[in-house]
């Protein structure tokens, strides 16, 4: 068995050693509950305050607009439902606009809200996976209360023009004489993209710690001051009364450390990953010209290669890759149990025989060129075996 090769960094990343070291005291001697009043609690509370200030500075906002959560899913659920229910209570409207390629945490939150009288419209994307800002503006209605478009897609790595979308929404909202809130799922963007909320023009932004070298079970939700928001978790008054529950101090500290390092290193990260990405794409094109790279070729995260092989079974390819010691994904790590094609690829008009044969390879700065070459050595044969498994062998 060869040494294991990990090429699924979009699914999760290892905890950075710097974040781990920063977290350790809060598992032991600094175990106080930050809501208490004695000095042991004050240590924990100070650590959270420092972490909040760090995250706020990186996002270009103020600490009282930062809420720590249990992860990306909660951050997305809280953003979508929190704004929607607040606007419904205020009788402002009940229409939500999002894109057809969003993460299921967003799409399922919208579907959940439909049980309470909300209506969701899905913005189409082009074959490159991009939402057109003008289309977003045209789709707004007098009862629209929220627009949610992701910063970068978790499957294809396509980077949306969020600033342009937000600007188009604001302009159209002014003509309608109303405020329309803009949220973005930035979960995949922290390693490579500058995430300044004013530059992006968003009112809410969601992050997940384990995507950028922080701990699992931790996330961030930015809520602009004055944005309507109804807390979705009841209890004590933690997190500025936006998210009840005793804070996970260690995870919050680790999140802030990892996020700071990710943002400081994003230029070097992008350069290193882009070179690996281009090496992989060129190798696939040379060995398997029938393969199709999905998503815009320039407006994409530098570490993502989403590639489809016609008439192949992604499940078979993943199994064979695993046997070869290579970890990859069939797209979103949340949906690989069946051969059901990705909703993202179908929205991009990828044909079914290509969609079911799609793999996602995501690299990091720790990935070696030799690991890319090892993948390219074994991939052509694996693809052919996967085609044979479907009864559509080449030739």
Residues counted in the chain: 395
Instruction: Count H helices and E strands in the chain, helices first.
Output: 13, 12
Q: What distance separates the 2 farthest-apart alpha carbons in the chain?
A: 75
* Options 1.10.10.10, 3.40.640.10, 3.40.50.720, 3.10.20.30; CATH of 17-264: 3.40.640.10
Question: Which CA distances in Å does 221 have to 9, 272, 369?
Answer: 22, 29, 36
Q: Are strands 144-148 and 95-99 parallel, antiparallel or unpaired?
A: parallel
The whole-number pLDDT of residue 338 equals 59
Average pLDDT over residues 216-229: 98
Q: Where are the alpha helices (DSSP H) in the chain?
A: 17-23, 39-59, 72-89, 104-114, 133-138, 162-176, 197-200, 249-264, 266-287, 314-323, 343-347, 352-355, 369-389
Percent of the chain with pLDDT over 90: 92
The whole-number pLDDT of residue 363 equals 98
Please report how the helices 369-389 and 314-323 are oriented relative to each other, as an axis angle in degrees rounded to 10. 130
pLDDT digits (tens, 9 = 90+) for 336-376: 555 688 999 999 999 999 999 999 999 999 999 999 999 99
- List residues with catalytic annotation: 334
Backbone angles phi, psi at 265, to 5 degrees: -100, 10
pTM: 0.95
The whole-number pLDDT of residue 339 equals 65
> What residue ranges do the domains of the chain occupy?
5-13+266-389, 17-264
The whole-number pLDDT of residue 124 equals 98
Q: What is the CATH number that goes with domain 5-13+266-389?
A: 3.90.1150.10
In this predicted structure, the answer to whether residue 394 has a pLDDT above a threshold of 70 is no
In whole angstroms, give the CA distance from residue 58 to residue 69: 17
Average pLDDT over residues 383-392: 82
Top-confidence residue, 209 or 37:
209
In this predicted structure, the answer to whether residue 303 has a pLDDT above a threshold of 80 is yes
Token couple for 95 = 């229409």
């Amino acid at each position: 068995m060869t040494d294991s090769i990990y090429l699924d960094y979009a699914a999760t990343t290892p905890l950075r050693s710097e974040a781990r070291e920063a977290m350790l005291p809060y598992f032991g001697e600094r175990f106080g509950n930050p809501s208490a009043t004695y000095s042991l609690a004050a240590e924990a509370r100070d650590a959270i305050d420092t972490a909040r200030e760090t995250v706020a500075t990186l996002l270009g906002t103020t600490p009282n607009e930062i809420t720590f959560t249990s992860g990306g899913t909660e951050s997305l659920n809280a953003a979508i439902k929190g704004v929607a229910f607040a606007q419904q209570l205020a009788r402002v409207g009940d229409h939500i606009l999002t894109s057809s390629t969003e993460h299921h945490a967003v799409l399922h939150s919208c579907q959940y809200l439909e049980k309470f009288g909300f209506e969701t419209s899905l913005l189409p994307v082009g074959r490159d996976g991009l939402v057109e800002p003008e289309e977003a503006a045209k789709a707004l209605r007098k009862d629209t209360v929220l627009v949610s478009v992701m910063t970068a897609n978790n499957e294809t790595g396509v980077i949306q023009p969020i600033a342009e979308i937000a600007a188009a929404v604001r302009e159209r909202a002014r003509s309608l004489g109303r405020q329309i809130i803009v949220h973005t799922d930035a979960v995949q963007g922290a390693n490579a993209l500058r995430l300044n909320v004013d530059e992006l023009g968003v009112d809410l932004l969601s992050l997940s710690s384990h995507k950028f070298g922080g701990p699992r079970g931790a996330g961030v939700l930015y809520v602009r001051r004055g944005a309507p928001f109804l807390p979705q978790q009841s209890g004590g008054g933690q997190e500025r009364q936006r998210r009840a529950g005793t804070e996970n101090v260690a995870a919050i500290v680790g999140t802030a450390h990892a996020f700071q390092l990710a943002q400081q290193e994003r230029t070097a990260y992008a350069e290193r990953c882009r070179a690996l990405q281009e090496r992989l794409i060129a190798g696939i094109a040379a060995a398997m010209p029938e393969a199709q790279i999905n998503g815009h070729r320039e407006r994409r995260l530098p570490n993502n290669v989403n590639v489809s092989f016609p008439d192949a079974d992604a499940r078979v390819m993943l199994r064979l890759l695993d046997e070869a010691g290579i970890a990859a994904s069939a797209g979103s790590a949340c949906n690989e149990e069946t051969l059901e094609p990705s909703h993202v690829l179908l929205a991009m008009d990828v044909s079914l025989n290509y969609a079911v044969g799609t793999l996602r390879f995501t690299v990091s700065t720790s990935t070696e060129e030799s690991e890319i070459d090892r993948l390219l050595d074994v991939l052509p044969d694996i693809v052919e075996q996967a085609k044979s498994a479907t009864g559509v062998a080449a030739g």
